Amino acid sequence: MKILKLGMAAIAAAIFLPSTGSASDPHYVNGVEGIKAGTLPPPGIYGRLYGVYYKSDTMRDSGGDKMDVDFDLSVWALVPRVIWVSKYEILGGNFFADAILPVLKTDVSIGAMAVDDSKTGIGDICVEPLGISWHGDLFDAAVAAGGYIPTGLYDKDNMASPGKDMWTAMLTAGGTVYADAEKTWSASVLARYEVHSEKNDAEYTPGNDFHFEWGLGKTIFKTVDVGMAGYCSWQVTDDSGNEGDTGKSRVFAAGPEVSVFIPSQVLFVSARVLGEFEARNKSEGVIGVLTLTKGF
């Protein structure tokens, strides 16, 4: 039963915009923002498309040891996002709002349990109706409040379900600081805190999650950023309900990133590959992200 809970949690958490595998079922996917994650664009309407691939063949227990359950997980996600940054000011910053609609394909197998599931579908919608972003001479900053709506298909007996059968409230705060007036050296952090509702079908409430993404970058040729990005994720409260406490989870990740801005098209393209390590009570794998952002 413990293996079953961990397997289900890893699948649920690997789905976009969920963290890549966690006993606490976070909705948000770490690693999708990268260098300058704490920076919002100037006023305007932007379309962003995330292409995400997560792969894991390792499940870690509470001590960090690999579980011998013949585990294999692959998640593909294509996620459109609309961002509106207005000219209206609140507390000296620009009001913004955004919405996300993930489309997911999940394949999972656990040989020790004779599980082999696959599912494609629309996941849970994320809406952030309230955000504020600031831009200074040597910094950018942003805060936001929003959440996930359980719109995706969910079946507690299907580990590859694209939905999670729960509401999630999410608070966000982040920033980017620059080491020089030309803003060619940057360091950023983007933190998120999630509070989950009960999963009605499973009569189970996942614990709250805290994560932050970080990035260190250098601008070259004026329009190209290179550097390192990563994330840290922790479950900070216990699970509760019918399934009991499956144990708190954590994971860290790091890897390289390249980002290119094409001014004539108002187009941003970024790519990164992050390897996870020091996982506890979750899957441990690799995530690759390609992001396209177009200004209108």
Q: pLDDT digits over 98-142, tens only? A: 999 999 999 999 998 888 899 999 999 999 999 999 999 999 999
For the cut 70, the answer to whether the pLDDT of residue 245 exceeds it is: no
pLDDT of residue 8: 38
Mean per-residue pLDDT for 41-46? 96
Q: Is 9 helix (H, G, I), strand (E, B) or coil?
A: helix
For the cut 80, the answer to whether the pLDDT of residue 277 exceeds it is: yes
Mean per-residue pLDDT for 168-172? 97
C-alpha angle 150/153/154, rounded to 5°?
85
DSSP 265: G
Query: In Å, how far are 45, 135, 188, 256 from 140, measured between CA atoms?
Result: 19, 4, 9, 22
Mean per-residue pLDDT for 201-227? 92
Q: Beta partners for 261?
A: 268
Q: Is 222 helix (H, G, I), strand (E, B) or coil?
A: coil
Whole-model pTM: value is 0.88
Handedness of CA 145, 233, 123, 49 (dihedral sign): positive
Cα(119)–Cα(109) distance, integer angstroms: 12
Mean of all residue pLDDT scores within the chain: 89
Cα(134)–Cα(143) distance, integer angstroms: 9
C-alpha angle 248/6/172, rounded to 5°?
50
Cα(213)–Cα(190) distance, integer angstroms: 5
pLDDT of residue 13: 36
Report residue 241's pLDDT band, with 50, 70 and 90 as the boundaries. confident
Do residues 177 and 186 lie in contact, with contact meaning Cβ atoms separated by under 8 Å?
Answer: yes
